[in-house]
A = this chain, B = another copy of it.
Amino acid sequence: MTAKNKSSDRRVQRTRDALRDALISLLEERGWDDLNIQDLCERANVGRSTFYLHFQNKEELLVGGFDDLRAWLRAQSAPEKTAVDAMPFVRGLIEHVHEQRNLFRSIIGRRSGHVVQKRFREMVCQLVEEEVAPPHAGWKQKAGAHYIAGALVELLAWWVDSGKGHTADEVEELFYQLTLPSIRQIKV
């Protein structure tokens, strides 16, 4: 036990990152159902027993990955404020989806699996909730968060599946155009 008890150790971070990256590469290569922990560890150059020091199973690694992504998106908020200040993570998310379309086709696309899709929805929903539904908010805030998250995820799914020709800026603009009034309604 050093200063911080877990994620501070650089070695830990290294192996966790390696596993996460291996997951990403195998995910777009084979899809969720056809990837196992062994191959994951081999790809990551990590001992198999080490895997279990960090995660309980495949799915835990996945949610860990989405936790990372969520944290990263949350962090993206501050630096260069976008035109609008509501839900600043969206800019980062859209760009990230764009840069990694292939991966996200395995995550939210028509041919994606159930688990992955569900976890991604959850992640987005949490981000939206943070923004729009404070801890003890009313039902409208919670329901509204689901509304917005569902809309965003479906928009992204449309984009990666059949919205090929459109830029991240266009999608972002459309999203904010449609969502800003909703946010205003909810946040009261």
The residues of A with any CB-CB pair to B shorter than 8 Å are 114, 121, 139-140, 142-144, 146-155, 157-159, 163, 166, 171, 174-175, 177-179, 181-182, 185-186
Whether B181 contacts A140 by the Cβ 8 Å rule is no
Q: Can you list 10 contacts pairing A with B, beta carbon distance less than 8 Å?
A: A114-B114, A144-B174, A146-B155, A147-B151, A147-B178, A149-B154, A150-B150, A150-B153, A153-B154, A182-B182
Are A174 and B114 closer than 8 Å at their CB atoms?
no
Q: Is the CB of A143 within 8 A of B155?
A: yes
Identity of the chain B residue whose Cβ is nearest the Cβ of A161 in the assembled complex: B146
Tell me whether A150 and B144 are in contact (CB under 8 A).
no
CB-CB nearest 8 A-B residue pairs: A150-B154, A181-B181, A151-B151, A146-B158, A178-B182, A150-B150, A147-B151, A147-B155
Q: Could you say which of B142, B152, B157, B186 contacts A178, with CB atoms under 8 Å apart?
A: B186
A174 to B139, CA, bound (A): 10
* B-chain residues with CB within 8 Å of residue A179 when the two chains form the complex: 182
Distance, CA A159 to CA B182, complexed state (A): 18
| A171: B residues at CB distance < 8 A | 143
Option from B114, B140, B157, B182 in Cβ contact (under 8 Å) with A146:
B157
A90 to B67, CA, bound (A): 35
